[in-house]
A and B are shown apart, each in its own frame.
Chain A
């Protein structure tokens, strides 16, 4: 069964953290179409979190067609969802990024500079794609 985490210091609203975790797990293949998410009640008692927050996260995921709620049965990862990347592609991308990061740190960049550089290149690439 999927297990949610909560980072109270991240500045990201709790409901959004839950949505992001499912989105990411689907993307990476940890959650597959048809997998059942824990009941709201189970998430609440596990994380000691406000039930309205969990309900809000589940509503948002349904709106994004990430999951489907089946009355009386639970909430399931949507059949349309499939891992966007195969495990081998994921591993190779992961390795490539790790190599790049080591080079960046070796060149004297710190974490903040790396994040800033990534954000700026990301933005640039997105703009090029749009143009």
Chain B
């Protein structure tokens, strides 16, 4: 048992590109051993954050600490403990699967080739095929097997299932969750598919316009938030701290509130909120500091 409590810690992290800030004031503390989803619309800064975590980018402000080490120092030892699967699972298309495995072994301090071969055999993916001739789902599986062969302590995946059909997506998540069940790996992945998160993740980060708008343990977040439905109320409520979102119809007001702040007024009903609705409410919420992110920045 290692003494590392947090797989990832960031403090005041910002990243500025030529056109403006892609990420600002990002402070996170993510526990080891969990599955963490990073959610946000396109251009929210998800890829920027992931690239900062794996050391492919250096932050303009703040610090990124992975597994207890500053990532900007990026020693081979630290990097060998981090696995990264970039968007669209890039592979050398003209390499055979066996070549890719040999390449992986040559380039990594830690690489369990036998483990990768067993995983691929189980999935029926032949080692002598060129990567480019495999289906999209199989290519994703090869990329995942390569990343897992490093036996990383932190595995970072950028939109791993976005390009996959539903069946391939399910198979990919089966393997990924199986790897988590074996223990020892913390998974951080980005996604803009919200409805599948609840079965896969236990921790959540919502990123919007370059800022973290919500982060925490999913069970805790769902207990902390309530939907309140009641008679139409004055709009001052919108500005109350605990109110995340207020929707008014002619006679009704629906409030999403945090910390169980339930108005004493009679006629109000409280109901639990689904994870999808919670995430959507925070995505709709304008960033508080009126984020200075230029829309041209693709992240």
Give the interface of A toward B (CB within 8 A): 6, 8-9, 11, 13-14, 40-41, 44-53
Q: How large is the interface on B (under 10, 10 to 19, 20 to 34, 35 or more residues)?
A: 20 to 34
State whether A8 touches B196 (Cβ < 8 A): yes
Within 8 A of A (CB), among B200-222: 200-202, 219, 222
Known A13-B219, A48-B170, A48-B200: A41·B178 in contact at CB below 8 Å: yes
State whether B177 touches A49 (Cβ < 8 A): yes
State whether B177 touches A50 (Cβ < 8 A): yes
State whether B199 touches A47 (Cβ < 8 A): yes
Give the interface of B toward A (CB within 8 A): 33-35, 170-171, 173-178, 180-182, 195-196, 198-202, 219, 222, 272, 274
Main secondary structure of the interface of A (DSSP, over half): helix
User: Which A residues are in CB contact (< 8 Å) with B174?
Assistant: 44-46, 48
Report which residue of B33, B170, B181 has the largest number of chain A beta carbons within 10 angstroms of its beta carbon: B181
State whether B181 touches A14 (Cβ < 8 A): no
Choose among B171, B182, B202 the residue that contacts A50 (Cβ–Cβ < 8 A): B202
Roughly how many angstroms separate A13 CA and B274 CA in the complex, as a whole number? 9
State whether A13 touches B181 (Cβ < 8 A): no
State whether A51 touches B173 (Cβ < 8 A): no
Choose among A11, A40, A45, A48 the residue that contacts B199 (Cβ–Cβ < 8 A): A48
State whether A53 touches B181 (Cβ < 8 A): no
State whether A41 touches B181 (Cβ < 8 A): yes
State whether B181 touches A51 (Cβ < 8 A): yes
Report which residue of A9, A14, A47, A50 has the largest number of chain B beta carbons within 10 angstroms of its beta carbon: A50
User: Which B residues are in CB contact (< 8 Å) with A53?
Assistant: 199, 202
Choose among A6, A8, A45 the residue that contacts B177 (Cβ–Cβ < 8 A): A45
State whether A40 touches B181 (Cβ < 8 A): yes
State whether B173 touches A48 (Cβ < 8 A): yes
State whether B196 touches A49 (Cβ < 8 A): no
User: Which B residues are in CB contact (< 8 Å) with A14?
Assistant: 198-199
Report which residue of B195, B200, B222 has the largest number of chain A beta carbons within 10 angstroms of its beta carbon: B200
Shortest A112–chain B CB gap in Å is 16
Q: Which residue of A lies closest to B170 (CB)?
A: A48
Could you jot down 21 A-B contacts, CB within 8 Å? Answer: A6-B199, A8-B199, A11-B272, A13-B222, A44-B174, A44-B180, A44-B181, A45-B175, A48-B170, A48-B171, A48-B173, A48-B174, A48-B176, A48-B200, A49-B200, A50-B35, A50-B180, A50-B201, A51-B181, A52-B35, A52-B202
State whether A11 touches B274 (Cβ < 8 A): yes
Roughly how many angstroms separate A11 CA and B219 CA in the complex, as a whole number? 13
Shortest B216–chain A CB gap in Å is 15
Assuming A44-B174, A53-B202, what are 20 further A-B pairs, CB within 8 angstroms?
A9-B195, A11-B274, A13-B222, A14-B198, A14-B199, A44-B178, A45-B175, A45-B178, A46-B174, A48-B176, A48-B200, A49-B199, A50-B35, A50-B177, A50-B180, A50-B199, A50-B200, A51-B180, A51-B181, A53-B199
Shortest B22–chain A CB gap in Å is 29
Roughly how many angstroms separate A8 CA and B181 CA in the complex, as a whole number? 21
State whether B181 touches A45 (Cβ < 8 A): yes
User: Which A residues are in CB contact (< 8 Å) with B222?
Assistant: 13
State whether B198 touches A48 (Cβ < 8 A): no
Q: Which residue of B lies closest to A40 (CB)?
A: B181
Roughly how many angstroms separate A48 CA and B180 CA in the complex, as a whole number? 11
Roughly how many angstroms separate A49 CA and B274 CA in the complex, as a whole number? 18
User: Which A residues are in CB contact (< 8 Å) with B182?
Assistant: 41
